[in-house]
Amino acid sequence: MKLRTTVQISSAMQKKPTLKREDSFLKRFSTRQTPATQETIEDTGSEDASADANINIKKRCRYLQERRSVVNPDENFYFYWLMALTICILYNLWTLIVRQSFPELQQSVPRFWLICDISTDIVFVLDILVQLRTGYLEHGLMVYDDKKLACHYMKSRDFILDLITLIPLDVIQIKIGAQPLLRFTRFFKVYRSVRFYYIVESRTVWPNLWRVVNLIHILLILAHWFGCFYYLLSEAESFQLEYEPFTLKVEIYKIISSSLPFTDS
């Protein structure tokens, strides 16, 4: 028994700690920092293993930097950016037709309208840069590659609409004068406000209320445009009636008298 105990104690003292084998595939995606004194089978003083580790670290840092610069459609930045973009789109929808119908409104504060127009155009240009860095899902995974993101956007219908939006028809106003409706190409940007509508609908607690508000807003825009168009048509006809005042009174009297039962008197 004494001999057996002595042998067990000596074998326990001479037993070396087992080495931990690391998985090279999981090591690439691991964020855990391993101590420098830890012994592994893969890097036991080998220069090649340390060089591979440095390359993997650099690749991972580059991947994280690219991932931070990509706009995720599910994040708050994308939501607030669409909100600012929608405000610029609504500015063009509400003000262009009014400025065209009432030239005195355009001539009263031309600098203010010029600053607003340039500001909205700058936002539209920045939106192209944002869409070039907006991620999308491919086979259920978010794409972060620069070339894939750019190709995906430039091959889409959105890129064509954005190019049409930025056609500089405003330059024609230098020769013919102020014509705000020459900026009608900015209306092609409405598809972005539609996306903002669906994002708000998915986030809000009262989606039915949001649908009602959006419907009322559309009806108000239509009434606004119809009213301005009616004013433009009336202005084109110089606000003249079809009949002279006296002739109009005679016609009204004939209509009323024909409807009465005692027309002979």
- What is the pTM (predicted TM-score) of this model? 0.66
* 20 close to 38: Cβ distance less than 8 angstroms: yes
**Buried/exposed 99-118: b ≥16 CB within 10 Å, e otherwise:** bbbeeeebeeeeeebeeebe
170 contact partners, CB below 8 Å, separation of at least 6: 117, 182, 183
Q: What does the pLDDT look like over 239-259, one tens digit per residue?
A: 765 545 555 555 655 665 665
Q: Map out the domains of the chain as residue ranges.
A: 73-238
Q: What does the pLDDT look like over 223-238, one tens digit per residue?
A: 999 999 999 888 888 7
Q: Which two tokens stand for residue 55?
A: 């390359």
Give ∠ CA 215-220-221 in degrees, rounded to 5: 100
Q: What does the pLDDT look like over 131-174, one tens digit per residue?
A: 999 988 888 888 888 889 999 999 999 999 999 999 988 888 88
Which of 59, 74, 200 lies closest to 137 in space, CA to CA?
Answer: 74
Q: What residues pair up with 137 in beta bridges, in sequence order?
A: 142
128 contact partners, CB below 8 Å, separation of at least 6: 159, 162
Q: What does the pLDDT look like over 82-111, one tens digit per residue?
A: 999 999 999 999 999 999 999 888 888 989
